[in-house]
Amino acid sequence: MRAECDYLVLGSGVAGLSFALEAARHGRVTMITKRSRTDSATNWAQGGIAAVLDPTDSFEAHVNDTMSTGGGLSHREIVEMVVRDGPSRIHELMDLGAQFSRHEQGRSLDLTREGGHSARRVVHAGDITGEEVQRVLLQAAAASPRIEIIEDHMAIDLVETSKFGGPRRVVGAYALNEDTGEVKTHLARATVLATGGSGKVYLYTSNPDVATGDGVAMAYRAGAELANMEFFQFHPTCLFHPQAKSFLISEALRGEGGILRLRSGDAFMERHHPMKDLAPRDVVARAIDYEMKRTGDECVYLDMTRERAAFIRERFPNIHARCLQYGIDMTKQPIPVVPAAHYMCGGVAVDDQGRSTLPGLWAAGEVTCTGLHGANRLASNSLLEGLVYGHRTAIAAREALGTASKTALAEVPDWDVGEAVPSDEAVVVSQNWDEIRRFMWNYVGIVRTDRRLRRASRRIAMLQDEIREYYWAHLVTRDMLELRNIADVAELIIRCASARKESRGLHYNLDYPHPGEEWQGDTRISRDTAPYIAHE
């Protein structure tokens, strides 16, 4: 079973949809998405999109904020390009019908401020910005006769033709149809990874269930280079409640005056950073981790009670309603919060046009490492990156239309199940799933040490052996494939974190608490090369 298209896009978040809309101008696009088309981190984004739209703000200020958050690893030319492209991408969304929040009195956009930003520059739609962005992009995609969206299909692996004696080139992907259990070969002139992040590799995460790092794992197995996998951003404030799964309490609350307090009421951020509650995320997450370990408390509290109740209800309707659902009235009482894995700064290494190191393979969005975020991401720069790179990558990928030969596609074999049988031991999946996420949280989380990394390294090697054996013996299922992917991503994070003998940005190792000049470069890794620091 096989199908052919010009562009195969894996993932229906902001990056995949932005790519598809631009690419559909000159080719046929097939978009495969793991669950429903709205299951994505994009749909969950609350805070907003950073872009210079206020006359008192400047590109230079946004570039400087991004560079200083990036811990010395952001690539200036990439930061400048993304920042300068931001306003056009926002106007494009508005042209598609996006309803962003505006000031009551005037027609101007209500720009909010978030941690690490020196100006109000975050465009938002109340506190459901991502949902609004995805709504208009999906609407536009649905109106295009050249875009086909296939739901409940999970890409398993990329088709790389050197495996079959052809040239080194990606020509599509094998995808599991979840309804039938069949695996189809999707062939394409250009294949685009837009599969998002990998928060599920950690026990506590703000990410949706689809975020299992599939794109990174597929690219790694196919031989592409990856970068900066040790830099994982932990959001400082997820709702702490036994029934609340992955509910984020947006940074915008601190932007609007929220204060972090201990159970005693003590406002502790002034002890950790001069910007107090508006310090960069990594500083806030580490401060909370430190205070929780020091006091033995299970959580800290985010206090909004100084603000007017009417303002809170209007500005944060979604968060207010969700907290009420769990019996917390944020207008009257502080919200219990804990840090959680939030954003993967590393990923598939791409150039300024979204090209990976494998011919035929492009990537955009959270799955990539573009050089924008460096060692730490500035809040609200990721939706921006998805918009900018989705668009740029589609323009660049046009070159693939003329290059990939039809003969190469014809020679690709279909998926071979070999001797595989249906699994009678799904417990292997659930056991290993829990084990990986827990040791990643405890040993490779917010604060690392060499000893913890060594422990994690031994465990992942053992589990990967088991997972490989299980994978080859059984017919594929989504749970099994996701397990295989989080195991590969965990291995990559551990190897890159072990190689970086310093603390910088989001990577904090107690054995090397300071940054070192010799480590000033991206960590590169591939199937064929051990992690190394790439000095520009």
Q: Give contact residues for ligand FAD (rule: CB under 6 A).
A: 10-16, 32-35, 39-42, 44-49, 129-130, 154-155, 194-196, 206-207, 210, 214, 248, 343, 365-367, 380-383, 386
The closest of 390, 77, 69 to 233, measured between CA atoms, is 69
3-state secondary structure 78-131: HHHHHHHHHHHHHHHHHHCCCCCCECCCCCCECCECCCCCCCCCEECCCCCHHH
Residue number, 345 or 456, with CB nearest to ligand FAD = 345
Is-contact 438 203, C-beta < 8 A? yes
Q: List Cβ neighbours of 243 (8 Å cut-off, separation of 6 or more).
A: 326
The closest of 534, 527, 523, 536 to 230, measured between CA atoms, is 523
Nearest approach in angstroms of CB 140 to ligand FAD is: 15
The closest of 409, 292, 280, 388 to 339, measured between CA atoms, is 292
- Choosing from 37, 89, 169, 281, the catalytic residue is 281
Residue number, 66 or 206, with CB nearest to ligand FAD = 206
Nearest approach in angstroms of CB 475 to ligand FAD is: 17
The closest of 375, 337, 114, 340 to 235, measured between CA atoms, is 340
Residue number, 131 or 351, with CB nearest to ligand FAD = 131
Cα(354)–Cα(215) distance, rounded to whole angstroms? 14
Nearest approach in angstroms of CB 515 to ligand FAD is: 25
Respond yes or no: is residue 107 known to be catalytic. Answer: no
Nearest approach in angstroms of CB 359 to ligand FAD is: 21
Residue number, 318 or 423, with CB nearest to ligand FAD = 318
Q: Tell me how far CA of residue 200 lies from CA of 5, 137, 232, 433, in angstroms.
A: 31, 26, 12, 9
Nearest approach in angstroms of CB 130 to ligand FAD is: 5
Nearest approach in angstroms of CB 452 to ligand FAD is: 25
Phi, psi of 282 (to 5 degrees): -65, -40
Residue number, 1 or 267, with CB nearest to ligand FAD = 1
Residue number, 4 or 297, with CB nearest to ligand FAD = 4
**Catalytic residue positions, numbered:** 281
